[in-house]
Structure 1
Amino acid sequence: MNDLRFAVITDIHGNRPALSAVLNEIDCTKGIEHIYCLGDMIGIGPDTNEVLDILFSNKRISMITGNHDEAVLALLKGEKYPESHLRAKKHHQWVADRMNPSYIPLLQKLPREIKITNEGHRILFNHYNLDHNGHISQDPFSSIVEPTLQNIEKLYSHREFDLICFGHHHPIHYFEGMRSVYLNPGSLGCSKEALAPFSIVEVTDKGIKVDLKKARYEKTEFLLSYELLQIPDREFLLKVFHSVHSH
């Protein structure tokens, strides 16, 4: 029997100190064979190149793209930008202008989902359910639903997997349905506290066990960097994604 232990992270959103804290905890956890990163590595936070450098240089990490990654790529490639994301366009352009161009082909190669099977358990990793597989400008990702078992089961009713891991919606989701276990470890880079959520999953012949975790990190300097770097829409971003209110 080949038991499997892996970590799931998502929605880093350009937050290097949070990512480093989580990876340090994972490194201190025995038996973690792989790390699955479920998209939105960039956008919102300023540490684009630092985050991508850490992720692409770690051979244990597999990544998929999220809507922020794809929206920034659309700007970099001169493709149509999603109208639904216009509120974030100025910020995404700021991210795109500062991204190391060597990451463009690497991001382009990433898939939108990963499927694995272990101990007969079928596992799906995606950023969120896809209504279709069109370009990001065509809004392929489903509208966010409130995190209830009933809503998530309906969202993924057409997918037959024993474990479905996703991100996109920043709160933690963990539901055990009749057919599937649903896991969103929560946004690693965008939380109210100086805590970065992630999950450890163990798959054995007996079933699937999920451990919801949080890593503490130094957040003050990270938040100050928004002002220091004069990030566009920083007051909005800090208020909505980090619950920081300007005085």
Structure 2
Amino acid sequence: MIFLTSKIAIITDIHGNAAALRAVLDDIDQDKQVAHIYCLGDLIGIGHQTNEVLDLLLSRTDISFIRGNHEESVLRILDGKEPLSTGEERKHHYWIAERLDKAFVPALVHMPMTRTQTINGKRFLFLHYHLQEKDQFSPIDWHPSAEKLDMLYQHSKADVICFGHHHIIHHFKSNKKLYLNPGALGCNHQPFAPYAKIQIGNEGQLDISFKEVAYDNKDFLLAFQTLRVPASAYILKNFYGEQHVKWLK
């Protein structure tokens, strides 16, 4: 018997970190079995390399995209509306919107909130995070479980649900569904960029691997201050664990 498999990569929450993204894409490209990449939103915001990230991603033909809350807020600003964010995050989104290469706007506008795909008989649902009515993102559940996720997705026909937004890894399996979040590619308290691969066998069997790719984040982190990125102190502390301090004189 010949066993056919399909392999996909899942990336999410790049957050304007082109240095981390390059490392992950290089790692994925070394695996010639990966047929497609699914990017689950928040390509932009927090990090300052928005245009570099979008150029890297949109220049490829093997990636499907989902819109995240940071894309949503920046697009609202560009449309003359108030962003969904508040406080320092709101100022940060205005800063990102001002510097966004407008050539990327059509691609961002056309990114859907969800995607479905059947691969070797397994039904996949891809989204940035759990959605409420009118495609509003749910508040982050800081204590997720398979039971709670089964309740959320009890009416979904998907076998595998992939999402991001909550920056830590989720890997839950119930009798009904599998839930996966590979963790934030671009936000980490160590110089590692996480992502996941899923291999789907010809009978629907799943082989899931979580990867962390090491990269040099020095220039990326130090640029927050030289570029005067709004909310830099908050961002560097809460999303990167103040790794930049060791390079300050």
TM-score category of the 2 structures, normalised to the smaller one: over 0.9
Question: Does 1:190 find its partner at 2:167?
Answer: no
User: Once the 2 structures are TM-superposed, how far is the Cα of residue 2 of structure 1 from its aligned partner?
Assistant: 4.7
1:20 counterpart residue number: 22
1:210 counterpart residue number: 208
1:143 counterpart residue number: 139
> 1:225 is aligned with what amino acid?
A
- The one of 68, 71, 80 equivalent to 1:66 is 68
The within-5 A match list for 1:219-234 is: 219-234=217-232
> 2:16 is aligned with what amino acid?
G
The CA deviation string for residues 25-77 of structure 1, in whole angstroms up to 9 with x for no partner, is: 00011210000000000000000000000010010111110001110110011
The within-5 A match list for 1:52-91 is: 52-82=54-84, 84-91=85-92
The CA deviation string for residues 4-37 of structure 1, in whole angstroms up to 9 with x for no partner, is: 1010000000000100000000001121000000
- The one of 6, 9, 24 equivalent to 1:7 is 9
2:164 counterpart residue number: 167
> 2:60 is aligned with what amino acid?
N
> 1:208 is aligned with what amino acid?
L
Deviation larger for 40-49 or 171-180: 171-180
> 1:180 is aligned with what amino acid?
K
1:47 counterpart residue number: 49
> Kindly tell me: are residues 75 and 214 of structure 1, through their superposed partners in 2, closer, same or farther at Cα, counting changes over 3 Å?
same
User: Once the 2 structures are TM-superposed, how far is the Cα of residue 244 of structure 1 from its aligned partner?
Assistant: 0.9
Q: How many residues align?
A: 241
Runs of at least 5 residues in structure 2 that lack an aligned partner in the other structure: none
User: Once the 2 structures are TM-superposed, how far is the Cα of residue 207 of structure 1 from its aligned partner?
Assistant: 1.1
User: Once the 2 structures are TM-superposed, how far is the Cα of residue 161 of structure 1 from its aligned partner?
Assistant: 1.1
> 1:117 is aligned with what amino acid?
T
User: Once the 2 structures are TM-superposed, how far is the Cα of residue 120 of structure 1 from its aligned partner?
Assistant: 1.5
TM-score by length of 1: 0.93
Percent of aligned positions that are identical: 42
> What secondary structure does 1:54 align onto?
helix
> What secondary structure does 2:26 align onto?
helix
In 1, Cα distance between the equivalents of 2:151 and 2:227?
42
> Kindly tell me: are residues 87 and 147 of structure 1, through their superposed partners in 2, closer, same or farther at Cα, counting changes over 3 Å?
farther
In 1, Cα distance between the equivalents of 2:181 and 2:217?
22
In 2, Cα distance between the equivalents of 1:185 and 1:20?
17
TM-score by length of 2: 0.92
User: Once the 2 structures are TM-superposed, how far is the Cα of residue 225 of structure 1 from its aligned partner?
Assistant: 0.7
> What secondary structure does 1:212 align onto?
strand
> Kindly tell me: are residues 152 and 87 of structure 1, through their superposed partners in 2, closer, same or farther at Cα, counting changes over 3 Å?
farther
In the TM superposition, structure 1's runs of 4+ consecutive aligned residues that sit over 3 Å from their partners are 84-87
In 1, Cα distance between the equivalents of 2:152 and 2:215?
33
